[in-house]
Amino acid sequence: MKILRNFYYRYLRLQNKKPLHPQRYEDRKLLRNLQENITMITEILGNSDDLVMRKFKLGIDQVEAFLLYIDGLADKTFIAENIMKSLMVFCPMPESRLPDSKTMRRGVKESILTAGDVKETGDFNTVFQGVLSGDTALFIEGMDTALIISSGGFEARGVEEPDTEAVVRGPREGFVESLRTNTALIRRKIKNPNLRFETIAIGKQTKTDVTLAYIKGICHETIVAELKDRLARIDTDAILESGYIEAFVEDAPFSPFATIGNTEKPDNAAAKMLEGRIAILVDGTPVVLTVPHLFIEGFQSSEDYYSRSYYATLIRWIRFLAFFLTVYAPALYIALTTFHQEMLPTTMVITMVAAQEGTPFPIFVETMVMGITFEIIREAGVRMPRPIGQAVSIVGALIVGQAAVSAGIVGAPMVILTALTAITSFIVPARIDVATLLRLILTIFAALAGFYGIMLGTLVIFIHLVSLRSFGIPYLSPIAPLTLNDLKDVIIRAPLWAMPTRPEALENANRRRLGYPLKPLPPQDEEK
């Protein structure tokens, strides 16, 4: 039946004398006739209100031409002063009036236009990509090419401190939605001629610019080639945010652990690139992706390297402790109160039993109810306007907790446990999503088998972590496999002078980043 249907469709095509694959506009070349180009553009782009096609005549010879740009994306003041005025007033055309005169083309491009960036193209695809990105296209009668003039001037948010990565000490600037602004922010941090920016357009409908940023000679070429290959395989209609890219190129799409990092701070992105990673910038979003991404990066902050090493090490230990508490605290509470009461002091057991007396639900149900209630309050605080959201989060938590205890629905220890879990989850914001999932899994395991269930769940999690890779790099590096030299920036944050090499796990082409020795010495020791 399927074969007959295919033959029938082929017969209909032959009867209609239509080509099986009509030529798309991406494959069409510009024509020498100006009116035919205008007709083609109108046919493809339609009569959109923001589409501007300005007809005029060049200089004293009155050669017909027209400009094509999008109102709102292009800077109209720049177009009037640097393009229109130059072409209409200060345009002494050459003596040759031949339509295909190379002198005319070279004269307009090199002697008349005062714009900083002018490119020449002969196909409609490049013209539309430039115009829809904010550039202006110049068409001249008799020329089968168009000049793409950089004239972007759309409104963009200014550089400001990101809310998700606030620091006490360090740069306050963050990425914005403009791709060129973001590349400039990275370029300000890394003034290196080996810094590379490579841009490709992804998305059949959106044509979103995606830029790879890396340092040639530091980043391993194998990782660069692998990332380019994964991006080239993306065949989708739209890329609206960097999360789309993350979903298509990550190593383990079914894992709760993120194998691709993200940041909104240029200094953080620059630091990762200097270690041998690649930054992925997507036009229209301030969130920049970084690959490869390791598990330990979720506990590292850019502020760690701006503070003294002892204090940074202490804060990092606090992050480890907070992550452990937010993941294991509910499960341990259920295991102790349900299966292993003998491990608690007698006085504490009596106090906890008295608090639970009169509550209608088992401890597991109380834990699940309070956990879901907290997630609801947190989500409400995030989605509502900021002043109202803060009030909802604080007042809502107080009222719900007090009312639940007063009504005898949950015990007071459960409210304390929920508050502790909530506070510790905010200390490691990069791991808040996976911490929520792990907390749920371990809570269920603890309700089924107590400490044995927790141990089994932990074993499953560690086996999964060890099996993960991020662009070929073991996810738990440098812990598994163990790399002693890289442990200086894992459990502790060693002084900067004690970390002369880049992470060995990233297989950098240039491992040394410091001269040797750089340990500060007292003046008398220097004399000796």
pTM of this prediction exceeds 0.75: yes
Q: Which long-range contacts (CB under 8 A, 24 or more apart) does 243-249 make?
A: 243/287, 244/282, 245/202, 245/210, 245/280, 245/282, 245/289, 246/289, 249/291
The SS3 call for residue 210 is: strand
Task: From first to last of the 528 residues of the chain, give the pLDDT tens digit.
Answer: 555 555 544 554 544 444 333 445 556 788 888 888 888 888 888 878 888 888 888 765 677 888 999 888 888 888 888 888 878 776 655 444 444 456 677 777 777 787 778 888 888 888 888 888 888 999 888 888 888 988 887 777 888 888 888 888 888 899 998 888 999 999 999 998 999 999 999 998 888 999 999 999 899 899 999 999 999 999 999 999 999 999 999 999 999 999 999 999 999 999 999 999 999 999 989 999 999 999 999 999 888 899 888 999 999 999 999 999 999 999 999 998 888 888 878 887 777 777 777 777 788 888 888 888 888 877 777 777 766 666 666 666 666 777 777 777 777 788 888 888 888 988 888 888 899 999 999 999 999 998 999 999 999 999 999 999 999 899 999 998 888 888 888 988 888 888 888 888 887 778 888 877 777 877 765 554
Strand order in the sheet with 118-121: 51-58, 63-70, 136-140, 146-149, 118-121
Give the E-state strand segments of 254-343 in sequence order: 261-263, 278-282, 288-291
Query: Would you list the domain boundaries of the chain?
Result: 25-149, 163-293, 309-473
Taking CA atoms, 494 is separated from 13, 168, 489, in Å, by 72, 20, 6
Strand order in the sheet with 261-263: 195-202, 208-215, 278-282, 288-291, 261-263
